[in-house]
Amino acid sequence: MVLLRHGQTVWSQSGQYTGRTNIPLTPVGREQAAAAGERLRATFPNGFAPRNIYTSDLARAMETAELAGFADHNVTADLEEWDYGRAEGRTREQLNAAAGYEWNVWRDGPRSLDETLSGTRIEVFDDGSEITVVNGEGEVIEDAAARTRAVIERVLPALLAGENVLLVAHAHILRILTSQWLDLAPDFGRKLHLDTAHYSVLGIYKGDHVIYSWNN
């Protein structure tokens, strides 16, 4: 089971939490996505059957899949990024200042942030384009983990049949999915790092769920 993070976005560059906001890839992100596809085809010459390719329904993940050469894929909301709620579109420094302590999404969760950070706002990018940012309640990590377990259950028959599976999604949700694959607490994902347009490989070894490689 191959986990591919989407390519670079403006917010992945700036360190702003990017959950459900539909931000497109940057030109660099598009190049990264195409290069990731080449690496995957070199590493997995048998490829991925379209029925075994799943993407988040957010634009940056679907665009990454298409540019990587996997335009024929299944789309599922279960692979959407963790809903960061009031943290959405904000940097860790901004959130630390608002919270008054060293806030951590893994430990504290989006719902720990003050309601004064709630609302809807417009962010203007350097090129003049605008995007609407919604700061709602956010999602508890257990609910995000439950979504990933549903994905695992969906693809497990293909894995057990020896087929390759490709999931194209987002950094936090793929790390949470990995924790669930390993039967660990969701916040184990905090110990993992996944760069834009990099992939990791999970699998089954002697009956155990394992990580074969990470952040390729």
60 known ligand binder = yes
163 known ligand binder = no
81 known ligand binder = yes
Catalytic residue among 80, 81, 88, 139: 81
CA distance 94 to 117: 11
Write the CB contacts of 85 (distance below 8 Å, at least 6 apart in sequence).
Answer: 19, 110, 111, 113, 118, 135, 136, 137, 138, 139
Q: Where are the alpha helices (DSSP H) in the chain?
A: 10-14, 27-43, 59-67, 92-99, 105-108, 141-160, 171-181
Q: Is 6 a catalytic residue?
A: yes
CA distance 7 to 67: 10
Say if residue 117 is exposed, middle or buried (CB neighbours under 10 Å; 0-12, 13-18, 19+): middle
214 known ligand binder = no
Give CA separation, 166 vs 68, 130, 201, in Å.
Answer: 12, 32, 9
19 known ligand binder = yes
121 known ligand binder = no
Shortest CA distance to 170 belongs to which of 144, 191, 146?
144
Q: Is 81 a catalytic residue?
A: yes
Annotated binding site: 18-19, 60, 81-84
Q: Which residues are catalytic?
A: 6, 81
Annotated binding site for substrate: 18-19, 60, 81-84
